């Protein structure tokens, strides 16, 4: 009798396993999240600051505010650059040949989403890359930063030391990857929002049926911070494949920052003027 049961299980298991796994399996290959993506400006915001300005303003509770501070810089921000203390504004134009130094500590933190100190939470125009596994999705930025979205049923750990990436658990809702993250370091959120280690972020990663467009819907929720959940969306296109000596390639994950390179810190170098 025992042998019959074992044999029956042995016969049925291969049939049942795909059904069991489908609850956590990545979406069909036609609309897979896997691969390289680049953020786009679908509404013609027209400028770097404009993209940020198009985000609906967060509705904060009375007494909660994102006090001004300019750490992190970034386009539209101060002159602080990526992480690190702000660089003092020069008192006048630089002489010819003297570069404008705009980053105090290049590469600080390797924050792939940078400007608000969170890791790949609000990707900029650098490429991003997803790798879908059965038990986790890896989300990486070409300019640094990796997040792990765990699909294996684990819970958020307690205690947890806040990090720029927080701790993320995920599941598939049809073809949509739904990621819940808590445990961020405190900081700012696009649209004038704020986050604390207790703030909960839900991201929904939805790939269009043709596999070419990705929409990320962000929902920040914290009853001690927000009057109502702060929701906004970012849009991405699949990174174009480019020809490299006859081989199609993508450029995601090929860029890096070398903090020892003085050129990383600089911007405009006023040219020597020979035309009068």
Question: What residues from 200 to 219 belong to the interface with another protein (CB under 8 A)?
Answer: none
Instruction: Identify the residue among 34, 180, 198, 221 touching another protein (CB under 8 A).
Output: 198
Residue 100 interacts with another protein (CB under 8 A): yes or no: yes
- Which is nearer to another protein, 30 or 125 (by Cβ)? 125
CB of 239 to another protein, least distance (A): 7
Q: Is 176 in the site for another protein (CB under 8 A)?
A: no
What is the closest distance, in whole angstroms, from the C-beta atom of residue 71 to another protein in the complex? 6
Query: Which CB sits closer to another protein, 175 or 211?
Result: 211
Q: What are 218's two structure tokens?
A: 């962000």
Q: Which is nearer to another protein, 26 or 190 (CB)?
A: 190
Q: What does the DSSP 8-state code read for residue 166? A: -
Residue 188 in contact with another protein, rule: CB under 8 A: yes
- If the CB atoms of residues 28 and 76 are measured against another protein, the closer one turns out to be 76
Tokens describing residue 113: 């989403």
Instruction: Judge contact between 219 and 47, C-beta under 8 A.
Output: no
C-alpha to C-alpha distances, 175 to 23, 31, 211, 233, nearest whole angstrom: 11, 8, 11, 17
Task: Give the residue with the Cβ less far from another protein, 172 or 234.
Answer: 234
Contact 198, 167 (CB under 8 A): no
CB of 272 to another protein, least distance (A): 7
Interaction residues for another protein, span 39-78 (CB under 8 A) = 39-52, 55, 61-78
- Using alpha carbons only, give the angle 134, 138, 141 rounded to the nearest 5 degrees: 160
Among 144, 190, 206, 207, binds another protein (CB under 8 A): 190
CB nearer another protein, residue 124 or residue 203: 124
Q: Based on C-alpha coordinates, what's the Rg of the chain?
A: 23
Give the CA-trace dihedral at 189, 54, 58, 231, to 10 degrees: -80
Q: How many CB atoms lie within 10 A of CB 198?
A: 14
Burial of 159 (C-beta count, 10 Å sphere; 0-12/13-18/19+)? exposed
Q: Smallest gap, in angstroms, from Cβ of residue 205 to another protein?
A: 17
**Closest-CA residue to 262 (of 104, 115, 87, 143):** 104
Please identify, among the stretches 9-17, 132-140, 179-187, 212-220, the one whose residues bind another protein according to the rule CB under 8 A. 179-187
Q: Which of residues 224-263 bind another protein (CB under 8 A)?
A: 224-225, 234, 239-240, 242, 251-252, 254-255, 257, 263
Q: Determine the 3-state secondary structure of 216 from DSSP.
A: strand
HSE-CB at 189 with a 13 A cutoff on CA atoms is 29
Site for another protein in 4-33 (CB under 8 A): none
Say whether 44 sits in a helix, a strand or coil. Answer: coil
Cis peptide before 159 (omega within 30 of 0): yes
Residues 116-175 that bind another protein (CB under 8 A): 116-117, 122, 124-127, 142-143, 156-160, 162, 167
């Amino acid at each position: 009798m025992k042998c019959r049961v074992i044999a029956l299980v042995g016969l049925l298991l291969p049939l049942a396993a795909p059904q069991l796994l489908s609850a956590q399996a990545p979406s069909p290959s036609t609309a897979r999240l896997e691969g390289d993506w680049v953020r786009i400006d679908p509404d013609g915001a027209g400028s770097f600051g404009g993209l940020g300005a198009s985000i609906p303003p967060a509705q904060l509770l009375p007494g909660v505010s994102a006090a001004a501070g300019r750490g992190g810089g970034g386009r539209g921000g101060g002159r602080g650059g990526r992480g690190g203390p702000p660089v003092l504004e020069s008192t006048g134009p630089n002489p010819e040949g003297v570069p404008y130094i705009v980053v105090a500590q290049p590469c600080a933190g390797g924050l792939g989403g940078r400007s608000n100190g969170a890791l790949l939470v609000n990707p900029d125009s650098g490429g991003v890359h997803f790798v879908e596994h059965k038990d986790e999705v890896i989300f990486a930025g070409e300019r640094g930063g990796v997040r792990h979205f765990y699909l294996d049923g684990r819970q958020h750990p307690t205690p947890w030391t806040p990090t720029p990436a927080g701790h993320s658990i995920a599941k598939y809702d049809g073809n949509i990857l739904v990621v819940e993250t808590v445990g961020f370091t405190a900081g700012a959120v696009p649209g004038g929002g704020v986050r604390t280690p207790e703030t909960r972020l839900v991201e929904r990663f939805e790939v269009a049926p043709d596999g070419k467009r990705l929409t990320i819907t962000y929902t920040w929720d914290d009853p001690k911070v927000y009057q109502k959940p702060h929701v906004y969306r970012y849009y991405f296109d699949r990174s174009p494949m480019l020809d490299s000596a006859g081989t199609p390639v993508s450029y995601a994950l090929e860029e890096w920052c070398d903090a020892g390179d003085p050129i990383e810190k600089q911007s405009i170098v006023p040219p020597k003027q020979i035309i009068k």
